[in-house]
Amino acid sequence: MATAPVLPTDLTRDAALALDAADPLGAFIDEFQLPRGVVYLNGNSLGPSPKAAIARVTEAAAEEWSTGLVTSWNRAGWFQLPYRLGDRIAGLIGAEAGEVVMTDSTSLNLFRIVAAALAMRPDRRVIVMEGSNFPTDNYVIQGLIETLGRGHVIRFAEKNEIASAIGPDVAAVVLTQVHYKSSHILDMAAITAQAHAVGALAVWDLCHSAGAIPVDLNGCNVDFAVGCTYKYLNGGPGSPAFQFAAKRHHEAMTQPLTGWWGHGAPFAFERDYAPASGIGRMLTGTQPILSMVAAEAGLDIAERAGVGAAREKSRALGKLFQDLVEARLGDAGFTLGGPAQTDDRGGHIALEHVNGYPIMKALISRGVIGDFRAPTTMRFGFSPLYLRYADIWDAVDILVATMETGLWRDPAFAAVEAVT
Ligand SMILES: *Cc1c(COP(=O)(O)O)cnc(C)c1O
């Protein structure tokens, strides 16, 4: 390890410890099951496990499933879970009860939601999307267009080009609020208003927003939204995602994956489909109950912490990281891959480095877990509910050591694994 760095007083480890001592969210770390000796900076990809999630899954499996058997659909409230958990998510994203259901994956939900939006604008053929978005969003819409076979086209536009891409031929604008790589935040209110001004619908992906930044879907007059719960909402690997549809669209909206859970009377077992009256028509089939009960524990923590307080701490953690990297690694070849101002970015920071992949692997070997997105982006997520300021200090200290010792040059860190 290098000799103690000479740093401005607000960037010392003692200063970080003082921030921890005064942190109103400091106690939440005890609610997570985290391995010792790890600084987990990848909650933007998969949040860690809440202890309550493990307890609830155990209870649901050992009692509700094992003892209650099929009666648990009623007695343990399994059948209502998509609605009940949807209502809890609604409270975190500026929606009303009855406007959100928890179900399936973001990819599937996007298929249904965008299909619903396009059906409401039958005379228009253009969908505006950001080409650099997380690819599944592009892939899903490309597949949807192919399936519809009605000549829809995607007009790709990057952040500064979006406004000029929204014209009167646009059926829907489908964008992700916080960019998965750069962390850049798009202006949801302004872009939604631009879409509405030309008669288009606004669909937002909240995968990197939900639980990370305050979201006000109804305040922004958003039409539809999707998002996942396994990132900042700590719902568990593959935990179900959510769909939002503004109440004003519930009567008119239709979607192609019509299954019995979206039927108005699923237990009437009628021959023909007739949609449920509200957001329920966006459901398709039976849901993964054990994953849902796990996810509820994450939602519970997010509600108690409050998204506003979480956002403030996340910004402060990210700023500390940014300042420390600048002060201690200014000449090590790192550049910021996204916005420099905390106002303009979500819960993670993108650091670019030509050797980003082996550097990240070396960091992970030393217990600092972030991730890597080709070709050069190292992502560091600042989930505020289980990270301490001192953890950020330690992570940068380890990054400094990794660079100074040349640890990252070890050939073991060059081999590319399937999941980066
Ligand atoms: C994480 C993420 C997804 C994930 O989609 P899955 O269907 O859960 O695999 C989709 N879109 C964006 C923008 C994401 O960040």
257 and 312 belong to one structural domain: no
Q: Which of 83, 88, 111, 205 is catalytic?
A: 205
Residues 183, 300, single domain; the answer is yes
Provide block-wise average pLDDT over 10 residues at a time, the chain (420 residues): 75 97 98 96 97 98 96 96 98 98 98 98 98 98 98 97 98 98 98 98 98 98 98 98 98 97 96 97 98 98 98 98 96 96 98 96 97 95 98 98 96 87
What is the pLDDT, as a whole number, of residue 417? 81
Tokens found for residue 195: 């879409």
379 within domain boundaries: yes
Q: Which atom belonging to ligand 1 lies closest to the Cα atom of 205?
A: 13
Closest residue (by CA) to atom 13 of ligand 1? Answer: 134
The enclosing domain of 185 has a CATH number of 3.40.640.10
4 occurs within a structural domain: no
Among 256, 286, 304, the domain-final residue is: 304
State yes or no: is 230 an active-site residue: yes
The single residue of 56, 155, 231, 373 carrying the catalytic annotation is 231
Which of the listed residues 273, 304, 335 is the one where a domain comes to its end? 304
Question: Does residue 180 carry a catalytic annotation?
Answer: no
Residue 43 covered by a domain: no
Contact status, residue 137 vs residue 203, Cβ threshold 8 Å: no
Ligand 1 centroid vs 77 CA: distance in angstroms? 28
Asked if residue 48 is part of any domain, the answer here is: no
Binding residues: 106-107, 134-137, 176, 205, 208, 230, 260, 286
Please tell me the distance from the alpha carbon of residue 345 to that of residue 109, in angstroms, as a whole number.
25
**Residues 282 and 316 grouped into a single domain:** no
Question: How far away, in angstroms, is 207 Cα from ligand 1 center?
Answer: 6
Q: Is the CB of 180 under 6 A from ligand 1?
A: yes
42 assigned to some structural domain: no
Q: Could you tell which of 42, 106, 377 is best to mutate to test the pocket of ligand 1, judged by most ligand atoms within 8 Å of the CB?
A: 106
Same domain assignment for residues 289 and 248: yes
| Domain of residue 366, residue span | 9-33+306-414
The 3-state DSSP class for residue 185 equals strand
**Is residue 325 domain-shared with residue 270, that is, in the same domain?**
no
Question: Cβ neighbours of residue 19 under 8 Å, at least 6 residues apart?
Answer: 316, 320, 389
The reply to whether 290 and 326 lie within a common domain is no
Locate the ligand 1 atom nearest the alpha carbon of residue 45 and give its number.
1
In a domain, 44, yes or no: no
pLDDT attached to residue 4: 67
Task: Give the CATH number of the domain where residue 22 resides.
Answer: 3.90.1150.10
pLDDT at 418: 83
Instruction: Tell whether 191 and 319 lie within a shared domain.
Output: no
Q: What does the block give as tokens for 316?
A: 């402060």
Residue-level pLDDT at 3: 60
From residue 107, alpha-carbon distances to 80, 110, 388 in Å are: 22, 5, 33
Q: What does the alpha-carbon distance between residue 234 and residue 163 come to, in Å, rounded to a whole number?
A: 33
pLDDT digits (tens, 9 = 90+) for 46-83: 999 999 999 999 999 999 999 999 999 999 999 999 99
Ligand 1 site, residue 105, Cβ cutoff 6 A:
yes
Where residue 327 falls (left for φ over 0; alpha for ψ -120 to 50; beta otherwise) is: alpha
Alpha-helical segments (H) within 267-388 = 289-305, 307-329, 356-365
pTM, full prediction: 0.97
292 and 314 housed in the same domain:
no
Q: In which element (H, E) is residue 154 found?
A: strand 153-156
Q: Domain tally for the chain?
A: 2
Same domain, 28 and 83: no
Instruction: Name the catalytic one among 88, 112, 311, 379.
Output: 379
State whether the beta carbon of 371 lies less than 6 angstroms from ligand 1: no
Q: 246 with 364, same domain?
A: no
Last residue of a domain, one of 304, 326, 361: 304
Is residue 134 annotated as part of the catalytic site, yes or no? Answer: yes
Domain identity same for 273 and 320: no
Same domain, residue pair 289 and 310: no
- Write out the binding residues for pyridoxal 5'-phosphate: 106-107, 134-137, 176, 205, 208, 230, 260, 286
Q: Per the domain annotation, does 189 fall within a domain?
A: yes
Integer Cα distance of 252 and 229 in angstroms: 27
Flag whether 45 is in a domain.
no
Model confidence pLDDT, tens digit, residues 98-150: 999 999 999 999 999 999 999 999 999 999 999 999 999 999 999 999 999 99
